[in-house]
Amino acid sequence: MTKTELLEVLRNGENSGVEFKRDVTDNRSLAQELVAFANLEGGRVLMGVDDDGTVAGISRANLEEWVMTTCRDKIRPEIIPYYELLRDVEPGKNVAVVQVVRGLDVHHVWHNNHRTYYIRVGSQSREASVEELARLFQQRGAFRLELRPVPGSSLADLDIRRLADYFGRVRQQPAPTATDEASWTQLLVNTEFLSREAEATPATVAGLLLFGLHPNRFLPQGGISAAAYAGTEKGYATQERASLRGPLTPLFGEAGLVENGLVEQAIEFVRRNTVTTASLEDGARRVERREYPDEAIREAVVNALVHRDYLLSATDIELSMYTDRLEVVSPGRLPNGITPERMRIGCRAARNQLIKDVMRDYNYLEHMGMGVPRKIIKCMLEHNGTAPDLVEEDEQFTVRLWKSKPAPAASQTY
């Protein structure tokens, strides 16, 4: 960092990536700031600076050694920061820059044989709540919510019909008889749809979401709130509102589809609330055209169900239809470093790997992870020449499909 860059940072003040510290601070306080930065996106502690950005200068002898010792003794896993000393920022006053990057692990402060996890929230570093800590571990791949046992649930809360169809028809392997609870329990523990606990075998989050009889009894966030609005914005006037509930997977029998899963429910909702036009192709063959291609809708809904952050328990996936567009809004940010730009070229990452694998077994997902470019983008471009919007903001991810290509602006003559 140059002196000019430092002065600009000082003028802008503290933020999510910058903290000012006097060098007389104690090592626990410094460790707290560095841990909070490492658990977010990284950041800088400027030592020798007051909270208001005034340069106080460095007074501690052997500051670099003290910083490195703090990172080794007070932080777990240990952090090796980048250390830089800028001399004469003001006459006779030096400033030290201690910089850390985003950690591959979740870090904590180790003090008095006690660990404390911190996160950065705006310009403050604070202790992480239970939910925030779980999300940190989930983001680092050290914790999979989908495998967490759901208290109070059991084999009786799973749909044996769907499970028998999945193992027999989809996976082509023998399944126990409907009354053989011991064999079903062993099979489902081995496949992680049940969890073996000390005195019980509760269903996992994935087991309930995929095959639960009434998954929303335990996981109220496991559904879709659907609405078809009368205009281009949300309002009270709607063509239809529906709370779509049930397991993700469909049920098939000898005659075909017996019960819809959530994906089929969503597609049927869209079909009920869109216009289908018919035309003759080659003067003889009747061709029906929907306002949105089924494949694009299916992919958007499946992606939301598979990749959403189920730690966010207060909100459903939203399926919103307007007179000019359709939106699928998934709670939570994209997983594991994925961005909308990376999704457009087919970059793959899974927050809920087991759910993803099962939905892929049902052929809901592309095996190459190319659903967004091949199903959503390509289908919409072929359908009406529009490119879908992929937007991540405000702790949610939105896929937006446009009903038609905007008319070109009328030319003006003078």
Q: Are 66 and 27 in contact (CB under 8 A)?
A: yes
Residues in the chain: 414
> Helices (DSSP H) in 212-326: which residue ranges?
215-218, 262-272, 294-307
Q: What is the structure's pLDDT at 314?
A: 76
62 Rama sector, left if φ>0, alpha if ψ -120 to 50, beta otherwise: left
Q: What is the structure's pLDDT at 125?
A: 95
- Dihedral over alpha carbons 66, 71, 75, 78 (to 10 degrees): -150
- Phi, psi (5° rounding) for residue 31? -60, -40
pTM for this entry: 0.70
* Interatomic CA distance for residues 109 and 394, integer angstroms: 29
Class of 17-140 in CATH: alpha beta
Burial pattern 166-201, b for ≥16 Cβ within 10 A else e, equals bbeeeeeeebbeeeeeeebbebbeebebbbeeeeeb
At CB < 8 A and 24+ separation, what contacts does 353-357 make?
Answer: 353/144, 353/146, 354/144, 354/146, 354/147, 354/192, 354/206, 355/146, 355/206, 355/209, 355/210, 355/248, 355/305, 355/306, 356/306, 356/307
* Interatomic CA distance for residues 204 and 199, integer angstroms: 15
Q: What is the structure's pLDDT at 216?
A: 94
pLDDT by residue for the chain (414 residues), tens only, comes to 899 999 999 999 999 999 999 988 899 999 999 999 999 989 999 999 999 999 999 999 999 999 999 999 999 999 999 999 999 999 999 999 999 998 888 999 999 889 999 999 999 999 998 888 887 887 776 568 898 899 999 999 999 999 999 999 999 999 999 999 999 999 999 999 999 988 899 999 999 999 999 999 999 999 999 999 999 999 888 999 999 999 999 999 888 899 999 999 999 999 999 988 766 666 666 667 889 999 999 999 999 999 888 888 778 999 999 999 999 999 988 876 778 888 888 776 678 889 999 999 999 987 666 788 888 999 999 999 999 999 998 889 999 999 987 666 555 554
Q: What is the structure's pLDDT at 110?
A: 93
Domain residue limits, the chain: 17-140, 146-218, 224-402
* Interatomic CA distance for residues 40 and 36, integer angstroms: 6
Q: What is the structure's pLDDT at 280?
A: 62
Q: Which fold has domain 224-402?
A: Heat Shock Protein 90 (3.30.565)
Q: What is the structure's pLDDT at 414?
A: 45
